Amino acid sequence: MNKVVTPAQPSLVAVPSNPVPEGARAGYFSTSDTIRLRYALFAHQGESARGTVVLVQGRTEFIEKYFETITDLQKRGFTVATFDLRGQGGSQRLIDNPRLGYVENFDDYWTDLHDFHTKVVLPDCPPPYHLVGHSTGGLIGLLAASRDRLMYDRVFLASPMIGLPGLPFSLKWTSRLVNFLRFLGLSQLPLGRRADKPQSEALFENNALTSDKARYMRSSDVLAARPDLAIGFPTLGWIGSALSAMRQANADDFPQKLQIPVFICAAALDRVVDTGASEALGLRLKAGHHVVIPGARHEMFMENQAVRAQVLAAFDAFVTEQSP
């Protein structure tokens, strides 16, 4: 499997609709399996930080997409640390076609997160550490919380990818079918939905991500300025890896493995991930809470002000008010 070289410069993209937050510093770090990932730190602009939020993105996303949310977190007293997952954004691509979403194994994302924590967050960011994960990043954060109870004090998940709507069979049998196709050598075959296409004005109407056109177009503006950040459809390799990870999160004994507080914030109108699966897990949490935000589509941090206010209020109640 050929690995596509990353851009020489890790610089962040600024466009008029999406300025870079204050205190930004961008760079690259290499994981233990030698994948080069782009990261950025956004220092708290004040005398004393409440700690650090590690922000873990969804599939297809990139650091610049979260500039507004990063600023919101800075205003709450936090330093923010984030990175582009392997195979997307400004990080190293994993297959010859840089426009396709691919990962060999979902545990590779654990390597990304763990090495980011060890090599960047611990040396350069103030404790305590909290994780905020969206969609794919929510599943990554959930599995991380089950593996290492010392990395984070609290984990806040927005629209986590615990299940997918419209699967042809049960999660178990869909996973087995896709992994059989991977065994036949079809891992790099693309397979996706309309929601998996890079954002553009032509796709805004009836999109599954957000009802807020200005925020939707903001991402499109960034991609117009820096097209190499975009990826499109996932491959069977990515889908099979993700389905296997979702099976872990849906296992009967999974809630018992979560030894730190977890908050699940689900979107009532989500068509990208299965809100029902998030609710089901939320009801089984031993040390956590869940809420469903009315009227919200999948990307709640990119939604209208009313939805964002509810999400940030949930974050404040769960994290900000618990931080010194």
What CATH number does residue 55 fall under? 3.40.50.1820
Q: Specify the pLDDT at position 263.
A: 97
79 pairs with which residues across the strands?
52
Q: Which two tokens stand for residue 296?
A: 């919200």
What mean pLDDT do residues 84-90 have?
97
Report how far apart, in Å, the C-alpha atoms of 273 and of each of 141, 165, 198, 261, 322 are: 16, 6, 17, 22, 29
**What's the CA gap between 86 and 230, in Å, rounded?**
13
Higher pLDDT: 20 or 197? It is 20
Chain-centre distance for alpha carbon 82: 10
> 170 lies in a domain?
yes
The token pair at 212 is 């807020």
- Average pLDDT taken over every residue of the chain: 94
Rg (CA), the chain: 18
Predicted TM-score (pTM) of this structure: 0.94
Residue 3 lies in a domain: no
Q: Name the residue among 110, 117, 154 with its Cα closest to residue 39.
A: 117
Reported as a single tens digit per residue, the pLDDT across 167-181 is 999 999 999 999 999
> What is the mean pLDDT of the segment spanning 94-114?
96
pLDDT tops 60 at residue 8: no
For the chain, what is the domain count?
1
> How many CB atoms lie under 10 A from the CB of residue 305?
9
- In this structure, is residue 7 part of a structural domain? no
Say if 13 falls within a structural domain. no
In a domain, 137, yes or no: yes
pLDDT at 7 over 70: no
Structural domain harbouring 71: 24-322
Choice between 203 and 27, residue whose per-residue pLDDT is larger? 27
Could you tell me which residue, 63 or 7, shows the higher pLDDT? 63
* pLDDT tens for each residue of 249-304: 999 999 999 989 999 999 999 999 999 999 999 999 988 899 999 999 999 999 99
97 lies in some domain: yes
pLDDT confidence bin for 5, thresholds 50/70/90 = low
Question: Is residue 226 included in any domain, yes or no?
Answer: yes
What confidence score (pLDDT) does residue 6 get?
57
- Residue range 102-113: mean pLDDT, rounded: 97
User: Could you give the percent of the chain with pLDDT greater than 90?
Assistant: 88
242 within domain boundaries: yes
